[in-house]
């Protein structure tokens, strides 16, 4: 068998697997597009995150919102991510930052996870996913829980704060959804 053929086949399979890995999260609700550190800080500031908060980041990607909430604001935080490679990566970062006692990353579909302990939720999903998520948020979150969405609005809900320049929307359960 020709050695070039073997290497060529391995390369094509590798590229194909990489593309599938990158794109599959888009199929389940949101592709991976990391939020800049500047915008992460703006999202957390808009939500007025503090040491008494339990922040849930839905679709936590590489864990940057989870880690920033702990490091800069003293909150406890939980990320929920469907991609097992990103889960491993973000868990390693939490270990590296030595904040695993105040944070964790759960592997799974956030639609199937309990988020009732959250006092704040952050997300950067797609418009359709936000719409499907509304019922879960209302059912599981206590009135007063802050929900910060980057880019995508919740149709039919009125944000209590908006940063139009950066497209960050703050919703409060029991206020915005009435």
- Given this model, what pLDDT does residue 3 score? 58
- Given this model, what pLDDT does residue 93 score? 94
- Given this model, what pLDDT does residue 76 score? 98
pLDDT means per 10 residues in the chain (178 residues)? 62 65 56 81 97 96 95 97 89 95 95 96 89 94 97 94 97 91
CATH of the domain at 46: 3.40.50.150
Contact (Cβ atoms closer than 8 angstroms) between residue 56 and residue 113: no
Provide the domain count of the chain: 1
- Given this model, what pLDDT does residue 36 score? 84
Asked if the structure places residue 126 within a domain, the reply is yes
Q: Provide the residue range defining the domain that includes 124.
A: 37-172
Asked if the structure places residue 13 within a domain, the reply is no
Asked if the structure places residue 22 within a domain, the reply is no
Which of 156, 104, 167 lies closest to 130 in space, CA to CA?
156
The 3-state secondary structure of 19-59 reads: HHHHHHHHHHCCCCCCCCHHHHHHHHHHCCCCCCCEEEEEC
Asked if the structure places residue 47 within a domain, the reply is yes
- Given this model, what pLDDT does residue 47 score? 97
Structure tokens at 122: 């952050």
The residues with which 156 forms a beta bridge, in sequence order, are: none
Separation of CA 64 from chain center: 9
The 3-state secondary structure of 95-135 reads: HHCCCCCCEEEEECCHHHCCCCCCCEEEECCCHHHHHHHHH
- Given this model, what pLDDT does residue 154 score? 93
Contact (Cβ atoms closer than 8 angstroms) between residue 54 and residue 119: yes
Asked if the structure places residue 26 within a domain, the reply is no
Distance CA 158, CA 167 (A): 14
- Given this model, what pLDDT does residue 111 score? 92
Asked if the structure places residue 2 within a domain, the reply is no
Asked if the structure places residue 163 within a domain, the reply is yes
Asked if the structure places residue 177 within a domain, the reply is no
Listed in sequence order, the residues at least 6 apart from 159 whose beta carbon sits closer than 8 Å to its beta carbon are 153, 169, 170, 171, 176
- Given this model, what pLDDT does residue 173 score? 97
């Amino acid at each position: 068998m020709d050695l070039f053929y073997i290497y060529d086949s391995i390369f094509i399979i590798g590229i194909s697997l990489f593309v599938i890995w990158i794109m599959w999260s888009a199929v389940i609700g949101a592709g991976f597009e990391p939020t800049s550190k500047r915008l992460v800080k703006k999202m957390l500031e808009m939500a007025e995150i503090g040491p008494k908060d339990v922040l849930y980041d839905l679709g936590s990607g590489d864990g940057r919102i989870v880690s920033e909430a702990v490091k800069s604001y003293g909150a406890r935080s939980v990320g929920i991510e469907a991609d097992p490679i990103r889960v491993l990566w973000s868990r390693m970062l939490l270990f590296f930052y030595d904040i695993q006692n105040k944070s964790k990353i759960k592997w799974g579909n956030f639609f199937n996870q309990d988020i009732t302990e959250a006092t704040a939720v952050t997300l950067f999903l797609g418009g359709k996913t936000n719409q499907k998520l509304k019922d879960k948020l209302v059912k599981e979150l206590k009135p007063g829980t802050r929900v910060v969405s980057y880019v995508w609005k919740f149709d039919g809900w009125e944000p209590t704060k908006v940063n139009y320049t950066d497209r960050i929307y703050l919703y409060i359960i029991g206020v915005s959804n009435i």
